[in-house]
Structure 1
Amino acid sequence: MDLYTLPNATEPPQPTASPISIPSILSATTLTVFLISLVYWCVQDFRLYISLGPGGPPYNIWGWLLTSFIVRPFTLAADETTWTGDYPDTGCHKEIEALPERARGRPVVLGIAPQRQLTQLAEPDMNKRVLSLLSSAVQNNPKLLQQRLSEFEKHHIALFVHPSLFSKPANLPETAIRSRGELGHIHDETSLHLYFSPADAKVIIEKGWAERHRCARTQPWWFGCKKFMFKIGDTFLLLYAPRDEAEFGVLKTLIRASARFMTGQEDIAEP
């Protein structure tokens, strides 16, 4: 007789579905939410990157990937760009010390590279006036300054230390050597990036005229206190666009201070 026809024979167990545990449900849900949030953040961040216009990195998805995932971990946080704790308390120029406080607070500034001013914008004709001011700085200091396209942002006009000064590099600050002589440059919305001495930079930021570039920092001790990460020194500031004649006058003082620091020459004619 067949064993399986015996009355006392035990039926083989039927396969049953394994119950889904609560931890696995939570893990799957968490992963799904994370991926959706990441995709949303990436889309929004890429849109912001493109909206700020061309800057130093490529103006495409590759430039965005470089800035957002390679550069960003080594930059200042957005709320740290007005920090001045690593600058000296003394040694700034008298003209900088005498600057008034900038009125009406700080504008909104977004981006890493590019970094741009989004509010409190200048009048449309101010950009041409500032470009003329940069040209005047060169004309009034022909043996100390030059003007050409920026090394950092190849779409914008910049001021440079005159090449002849590099024959005596000991007279120049390390910043001038590392930046290939570039003092800074103007942007389409009329903000500017410029280098300053650490003492001047402290006062300029604290009086509300500028903030640091997001890369303008010394890396923490666990990264070797490295300076000039991405070829940007720790006193590279974003100057807010001048809104009126008084602020245009302040910009003249700031350009002169930048030229003094980067050329190593105190005798700089005003633009």
Structure 2
Amino acid sequence: MTTALAWKWAQRDYRAWKALGPGGLPSSPRGWLTTTRFRLRKTDPFDVTGYGTDRPTTPLLHTLPRREGPRPSIGHWPVPHRPLDQGTGTTMRTALDASFAETVTANSGFLTMRRSVLEGHCDAVALTDHASAPPELRATRGEIAHVHPGDGSMHMILAAPDARAVIDGSWGERHPLGGVVPPLPSTYLLIYPPRDPTELAVVTGILEAAVRNAAAGEVPAQR
């Protein structure tokens, strides 16, 4: 690739990356250079071999249905990790935000909503006290899940069996840097935006499974 072609490619790629909106890196040329370097370290987003088969899924996900239709297209940039299509509309996004808020309210004894330490620009469901949480939650200071403002996709940290069930059911995929770049654990998953109330109910169940794993003995309220 000649210098002129490389420069044109970089300009196009930078503009497309900026169009994804804010993420865990500065929205600047330096942030773009960082995510471009991270592309060399991406892992297979559908590889579940590291999750093992020795433990069953959380009961909440025992009957997880398969998501209908194709998976959304995902941007090739590791950060921000975002779908390029199948985003939520305004009504569904409002319902999704309400579902997250209701989960926190129903478990206010050990959950809180605070600024995401992984994204930095949105709120996240987190443990009030993460001292006794699983190691992957201690690394994120108790952060469990957050919703991305632009499209309604989410990131959640799940138990390994639940992460396997979610990926196998086409409800999400691994973050390409999960388990590679701290503090992202290998079970840090992108959950696809819900397209209708039925899918919202499934996504809410996945969130509650993530909370159950994070709570380390606490039992989340069931809705």
Return the match for 1:198 from 155, 160, 164.
160
Equivalent-residue separation in structure 2 for 1:113 and 1:52 (angstroms): 10
Superposition pairs of residues 1-271 of structure 1, within 5 angstroms: 33-69=1-37, 71-76=38-43, 80-89=44-53, 90-110=55-75, 111-163=77-129, 165-166=130-131, 169=132, 172-188=133-149, 189-217=151-179, 219=180, 229-265=181-217, 267-270=219-222
Equivalent-residue separation in structure 2 for 1:127 and 1:242 (angstroms): 8
Distance 1:86 1:36, change over 3 A: farther
Q: CA deviation at 1:45?
A: 2.0
Relative to the length of structure 2, the TM-score reads 0.92
AA aligned opposite 2:189 = L
CA contact (8 A) 1:253 1:270 kept: no
AA aligned opposite 2:152 = T
Which one is further off, 208-217 or 86-95? 86-95
Relative to the length of structure 1, the TM-score reads 0.77
Q: SS of the counterpart of 1:117?
A: coil
Equivalent-residue separation in structure 2 for 1:157 and 1:131 (angstroms): 10
CA contact (8 A) 1:176 1:263 kept: no
Flag the structure with higher helix content: 1
AA aligned opposite 2:141 = R
Equivalent-residue separation in structure 1 for 2:48 and 2:11 (angstroms): 33
How many residues are aligned here? Answer: 220
Q: SS of the counterpart of 2:136?
A: helix
Gaps of 5+ in 1: 1-32, 220-228
Pick the structure with greater CA Rg.
Answer: 1
AA aligned opposite 1:51 = A
AA aligned opposite 1:98 = T
CA contact (8 A) 1:81 1:212 kept: yes
Equivalent-residue separation in structure 1 for 2:51 and 2:70 (angstroms): 22
Q: SS of the counterpart of 1:231?
A: coil
Cα RMSD (Å): 1.6
Equivalent-residue separation in structure 1 for 2:202 and 2:177 (angstroms): 25
Deviations 1:233-270 (A, max 9, x none): 10000000111111011011101100011121351113
Identity of aligned residues (%): 28
Q: CA deviation at 1:35?
A: 3.0
CA contact (8 A) 2:24 2:120 kept: yes
CA contact (8 A) 2:92 2:197 kept: no
Equivalent-residue separation in structure 2 for 1:208 and 1:266 (angstroms): 28
